[in-house]
Structure 1
Amino acid sequence: MSTSQLFRRRQSAHDGIRRKTVRWIASPLESSSKTSGEYALSSGVDHKPAEETDNQSISDRSSLSDDELPHFRHDHESSKIELFYDLFLVANLTSFTTDHEIINGQSLRNYVGFFAIVWFTWLETSLFDVRFAADSVFTRICKAIAFAAMTGIAACGANYNTGDVSEHLRTFRSLSIILMCSRLALAIQYIVVLLYVRKYPRTRVPLLSTIATLFLSAMAFLGTFFAFNLNDESTEPDRSTSHSGGPPVYISHYIIVCVEAIGVITISCIWRSISFKKTHLVERIGLLTLIIMGEGIIGITRSISKVLQNSVNTSGSVFGITISAVLLLYFVWILYFDQIDHDRFGTIRQQVWAILHFPLHTALILVSEGNATLILWKVIMRYLLEAVRVESVATHDMANSTNDEVVEYLQEKLETFTHHFKHETLYRLGVENFVNDSLSDIRQISANDSSGRDEYIGEIRDSMFDLVFAAFGIEVDEGDATWEPQLGIFWTVLYYYYIAAGVFAVLLAVLYWFGKTKKSREEWVSIVLRLVVGIGLCTTTAALLLSDTPSTSGFILSAWTVTVIMLAYFVIIILDNLLDAYANHNSARRRSSYVDTNRRARDEQVALAKATKADVTAQGESIKLRLLEASAVEQADRQTTEDPQSSRSFSTQDASKSNAVLPKTE
Structure 2
Amino acid sequence: MGFSFHGKKRDVDAEKHLKRLHKTVPFIESPLQGADHDHLVFSQRHEANTVELFFDLFFVANLATFTTYHSITDGSYLIAYVGFFGILWSCWFQVTLHDVRFARDSIYERVCKTIQFIVFVGLALVGSSFNPGSKKANNTNFRILCYTLIISRGLLAIQYGVVLFYTFRAKFSKLYLPLGLMIGLYGVAAAAFGAMTPAFQEGETAHRGVYVVWYIVMTLESVAVIAISSIWRMLSFKKTHLMERMSLLTLIVIGEGAIGVTKTVSRLMGKYGLEFEGCALIMCVIIVLVLLWALYFDNFPHGHYGTIRQQIWSLMHFPFQLAIVGIVEGSQQLVLARYVIKNWEKIIKGIDQACWYENQDGEKLRDSLLKLLDYWNFESKSETLPLQDKVLAEIYEIGNATGICSPENIADYDATGDVPLPFGQMIFQMFDGVYVGLGMKLPVDKVETYSASGVAIHSWRLVYLYFWVSFCLFVICSIVFLILIRRHRADTFDFVSIGVRFIVLAAGGALIALIANENGLYGFLASPAILPTCLALFFLILFFDRLSAAFCNWHLRKSGEPYAEEYAEEHHHGGHGGHEEVLGQAAHASGHSHHNSMVADHRKSTAWSIHSDRVPLTGGTGYHGPEEGYAMTPLMSPPAMNTPPVGL
TM-score normalised to structure 1 length: 0.75
Mapped contact 1:344–1:516 kept (Cα < 8 A): no
State yes or no: 1:530 paired with 2:501: yes
Deviation digits for residues 295-354 of structure 1, max 9, x if unmatched? 111111111112233x31553111111101100110110000111122252111101100
2:541 alignment counterpart: 572
Counterpart of 2:451 in 1: which secondary structure? coil
Give the root-mean-square deviation of aligned CA atoms.
3.2
Mapped contact 1:394–1:410 kept (Cα < 8 A): no
Q: 1:228 aligned to 200, 207, 218, which one? A: 200
Alignment of 1:160-239 (within 5 A): 160-164=130-134, 166-198=136-168, 199-230=171-202, 232-233=203-204, 238-239=205-206
Distance 1:31 1:162 in 2: 43
Question: Structure 1 residue 499: deviation in Å?
Answer: 1.3
Letter in 1 for 2:331: N
Alignment of 1:328-407 (within 5 A): 328-390=288-350, 397=356, 405=361
Distance 2:500 2:18 in 1: 63
Mapped contact 1:292–1:364 kept (Cα < 8 A): yes
Q: 1:426 to 1:152 in 2, by over 3 A?
A: closer
Letter in 2 for 1:492: L
Q: 1:503 to 1:71 in 2, by over 3 A?
A: closer
Counterpart of 1:29 in 2: which secondary structure? helix
1:124 alignment counterpart: 94
Mapped contact 2:562–2:586 kept (Cα < 8 A): yes
Moved more, 538-547 or 579-588: 538-547
Alignment of 1:412-423 (within 5 A): 412=368, 414-416=370-372, 418-421=374-377
Distance 1:600 1:225 in 2: 69
Q: 1:141 to 1:411 in 2, by over 3 A?
A: same
Mapped contact 1:70–1:197 kept (Cα < 8 A): no
Instruction: Give the total of aligned pairs.
Output: 542
State yes or no: 1:582 paired with 2:539: no
Question: Structure 1 residue 409: deviation in Å?
Answer: 4.3
Bigger relative contact order (CA 8 A; separation at least 6): 2
Letter in 1 for 2:239: K
Question: Structure 1 residue 557: deviation in Å?
Answer: 1.8
Question: Structure 1 residue 548: deviation in Å?
Answer: 2.6
2:8 alignment counterpart: none
Distance 1:410 1:188 in 2: 72
Larger Rg: 1
Distance 2:28 2:588 in 1: 61
Distance 1:593 1:216 in 2: 53
Q: 1:593 to 1:70 in 2, by over 3 A?
A: closer
Moved more, 288-297 or 338-347: 338-347
Letter in 1 for 2:329: E
Distance 2:255 2:591 in 1: 57
Mapped contact 1:407–1:443 kept (Cα < 8 A): yes
Mapped contact 1:268–1:274 kept (Cα < 8 A): yes
Mapped contact 1:469–1:475 kept (Cα < 8 A): no
Deviation digits for residues 44-70 of structure 1, max 9, x if unmatched? xxxxxxxxxxxxxxxxxxxxxxxxx96
Deviation digits for residues 460-486 of structure 1, max 9, x if unmatched? 112211320221113452673365442
Q: Where do 5+ consecutive residues of structure 1 fail to align?
A: 1-9, 38-68, 242-246, 603-666
Counterpart of 1:250 in 2: which secondary structure? helix
Distance 1:354 1:598 in 2: 38
Deviation digits for residues 216-245 of structure 1, max 9, x if unmatched? 111111111122233x34xxxx4333xxxx
1:42 alignment counterpart: none
Distance 1:323 1:591 in 2: 44
State yes or no: 1:295 paired with 2:256: yes
Moved more, 592-601 or 212-221: 592-601
2:432 alignment counterpart: 466
Moved more, 480-489 or 272-281: 480-489
2:234 alignment counterpart: 273
Q: 1:316 to 1:179 in 2, by over 3 A?
A: same
Q: 1:601 to 1:334 in 2, by over 3 A?
A: closer
Higher relative helix content = 1
Counterpart of 2:240 in 1: which secondary structure? coil
2:475 alignment counterpart: 505
Question: Structure 1 residue 159: deviation in Å?
Answer: 1.8
Distance 2:404 2:94 in 1: 73
Deviation digits for residues 424-479 of structure 1, max 9, x if unmatched? 34996266654443233224446599799801111111221132022111345267
Mapped contact 2:305–2:485 kept (Cα < 8 A): yes
Mapped contact 2:95–2:156 kept (Cα < 8 A): yes
Deviation digits for residues 98-133 of structure 1, max 9, x if unmatched? 111212211111101000000010000000000111
Q: 1:165 to 1:156 in 2, by over 3 A?
A: farther
TM-score normalised to structure 2 length: 0.77
2:527 alignment counterpart: 558
1:548 alignment counterpart: 519
Counterpart of 1:548 in 2: which secondary structure? helix
Identity of aligned residues (%): 31
Mapped contact 1:166–1:240 kept (Cα < 8 A): no
Distance 2:154 2:294 in 1: 39
Q: 1:83 to 1:14 in 2, by over 3 A?
A: farther
